[in-house]
Structure 1
Amino acid sequence: MKNKVKAVLMDTGVDKNHEYLKDNIIGGMSFSCDDEYITADDNYEDENGHGTSCASVIKREFKDVEIFAVKVLDEKGRTNIQILEEALKYFLDKNFRLINLSLSVIENEEVEDLYGICGKLKEKGKIIVCSLANGFEKSYPASFDNVIGVKGFILEDENSFWYSKDKDIQCIMDNNPYMNCKPGNSYALFGKCNSQAAGKLTGKIARMLSEEPEMTFESLNDKLERMARRKNWTEKDLEASKRYPDFKKNLYDKNSPILLKTADAVKEALKLDKSDGIYEYGLFSRKIGLTYDNCFEVLKKLEGKFNIKFDYPNISRYDFVSIETLTDLVAKTLSYQKDNI
């Protein structure tokens, strides 16, 4: 029997009413700075969207996770170290094993107290997972030895991760973008960032804790290292790590009804005038104009044309790279729904 795992998500808040997340959100609160005082209240509405996206990343890895949302970032994704410290201290004696952070401090002169708080949380059996600041080699608390630091990269395959308990940033997690939740029951591609990578590892750890609730920080480190594709790597190894999407060229005849209908839906959603380019260029090219933010509009248009319902959280960037890959997604969805009527 699997045990319930409660995870604290410290971010911009979360959309507790989102159809995909509403059964996983067990509550929340916020910390903010008011006239030099740190105040707490129960309003954790996500005015940015980042926290809602991270919550759906975590759930994709472990659908039964229970998420307690803590809003420490404002609508522009900003906070200060005092807010973070007070938020972390609040959970010293609360019944949560797992804390996910997608925020960072760059200046190491300011982090002594933060390090001490993370140490106390570790002593209490808490496991903190934190993303490295995008574009930096070192940030805090990700680089602390009492925190699991995570960086995203494109690895050998989507299920790959590298792990070394001896490195400052212990985990390199594959971060191919997926459709993730946005406030207002919407979705967008979210990924190729360290926040997604941290959420992905948090979800994996939540699943592990559900099976082994007594697992310690040290035993978790050991197990993750055993599970990892690599335990040793250099920057050159990262630079050499590549994976290219399959554009599925010529998978469908150019007169195939499903291909033509899919192309029509894309042209309508993106308001394209010319028809030929959609078969020649990648959908994310400037010629076509697909972006991470308008993929949802394309999917909604396809749902209307084909009378289907997509499983959004399991759709990745690779499903959008060409008109053929998108047609294949439609075909598989049609087949699945036919088999499950």
Structure 2
Amino acid sequence: MATATTPPAAGLTWSLRGRRPADIPVVADGAPAPPHLAGSGAGVRVCVVDSGVERDHPLVGPLAASWVVAKDEQGVRVERTTTGDTCGHGTACAGIIRRTAPDCELTSVRVLGERFSGSGDVLLAGLRWAVGQGFDVINLSLSTTRTRFAEELHALADEAFFNRTVIVASAHNTPVESFPWRFASVISVGSHQEDDPDLHLYNPAPPVEFFAPGQNVEVPWLGGASIRTTGNSFATPYIAGLCARILSGHPRMTSFQLKNALYLSAANVSVVNTDSRGAS
């Protein structure tokens, strides 16, 4: 199988380490005030495509439904499941979303097995199913380096974008090319090192567009427990939760409007209002 081995271009930023918000100031043209971020996520359907979610974890709460992508000699299919989380990763992501948007509706689709194992075709099948179900927000703290899946993932990301399903996708933890976070039709996320659990930043040097808390964060884990861990995976559900909060107050917002709302509300973006456009 082909893998992406070409090193990324210099200057691209996958996570924010060794720098602070003041090091990446962004000046934006005047625009209407960004939507209020104080919504609870009520009425918003969020799908966590991951390793499953532990049911009734005290830091996650109820799930609307749990599904699994099954793969055998008969092919790949999505079916209901009563199993929980195979490794803890999905539970952690679901807990961060619940903490950020407590009243959203959460659904789980398991595409990872034990020891974080998975395959590109299973990931693609789970994501395709979630897009087809018309979820408002899909949290994807996963990616694949297999370039043979890139074209189909790209088409699927565009389909989601135009149908108002927002895919919030984690950047790889190391500076390698992987998908689908590299596509402009998703909201891509890396982690920052700040202590503020409610701080998100815009990245002026994409392809990663936003940074969120993801370093030494407390997350729910298997057995009703919690742990501290680090990774872009755990910054991503924070942004997914913010998307749910915004959409709960602005349900007709399009995908590009939502991305702009995140941009305008980022802590390092200063909006400069201009009354003229260079009159002579």
| TM-score between the two structures when normalised by the length of structure 2 | 0.76
Residue pair 2:134, 2:165 contacting (<8 A) in 1 also: no
Number of the residue aligned with 1:214? 252
Q: 1:203 to 1:21 in 2, by over 3 A?
A: same
Q: 1:36 to 1:78 in 2, by over 3 A?
A: farther
Give the C-alpha shift of residue 69 in structure 1: 0.4
Q: Higher relative CO (CA 8 A, sep ≥ 6), structure 1 or 2?
A: 2
Q: Is 1:122 aligned to 2:161, yes or no?
A: yes
Q: 1:84 to 1:172 in 2, by over 3 A?
A: same
Q: Quick one: which of 121, 128, 135 aligns to 1:96?
A: 135
List runs of 5+ in structure 1 lacking aligned partners: 233-341
Q: Is 1:226 aligned to 2:261, yes or no?
A: no
Give the C-alpha shift of residue 231 in structure 1: 4.8
Greater alpha carbon shift after TM alignment, 155-164 vs 88-97: 155-164
List runs of 5+ in structure 2 lacking aligned partners: 1-38, 271-280
Number of the residue aligned with 2:108? 69
Distance 1:82 1:69 in 2: 18
Residue pair 1:158, 1:176 contacting (<8 A) in 2 also: no
Give the C-alpha shift of residue 174 in structure 1: 2.7
Distance 1:101 1:181 in 2: 17
Letter in 1 for 2:65: G
Letter in 1 for 2:266: A
Letter in 1 for 2:77: T
Q: Look up the SS of the partner of 1:202 in the other structure.
A: helix
Residue pair 1:155, 1:174 contacting (<8 A) in 2 also: yes
Residue pair 2:55, 2:61 contacting (<8 A) in 1 also: yes
Aligned residues: 230
Letter in 2 for 1:33: K
Greater alpha carbon shift after TM alignment, 165-174 vs 205-214: 165-174
Q: Quick one: which of 94, 101, 119 aligns to 1:80?
A: 119
Give the C-alpha shift of residue 164 in structure 1: 4.8
Distance 1:6 1:30 in 2: 18
Tell me the C-alpha RMSD between the 2 structures. Answer: 2.2
Give the C-alpha shift of residue 211 in structure 1: 0.9
Residue pair 1:150, 1:197 contacting (<8 A) in 2 also: yes
Q: 1:137 to 1:224 in 2, by over 3 A?
A: farther
Q: Is 1:28 aligned to 2:28, yes or no?
A: no
Number of the residue aligned with 1:315? none
Matches within 5 A, 1:163-202: 163-164=202-203, 167-190=206-229, 192-202=230-240
Residue pair 1:19, 1:185 contacting (<8 A) in 2 also: yes
Residue pair 2:110, 2:126 contacting (<8 A) in 1 also: no
Greater alpha carbon shift after TM alignment, 199-208 vs 42-51: 42-51
Distance 1:174 1:216 in 2: 25
Letter in 2 for 1:160: L
Residue pair 1:155, 1:161 contacting (<8 A) in 2 also: no
Q: 1:208 to 1:165 in 2, by over 3 A?
A: farther
Number of the residue aligned with 1:203? 241
Give the C-alpha shift of residue 135 in structure 1: 1.4
Matches within 5 A, 1:298-309: none
Distance 1:208 1:46 in 2: 28
Distance 1:166 1:198 in 2: 18
Number of the residue aligned with 1:110? 149
Q: Look up the SS of the partner of 2:223 in the other structure.
A: coil
Q: Look up the SS of the partner of 2:55 in the other structure.
A: coil
Q: Give runs of ≥4 in structure 1 deviating > 4 Å.
A: none
Number of the residue aligned with 1:13? 52
Letter in 2 for 1:18: H
Q: 1:36 to 1:115 in 2, by over 3 A?
A: farther
Structure (1 or 2) with the greater strand fraction = 2
Q: Quick one: which of 175, 178, 199 aligns to 1:160?
A: 199
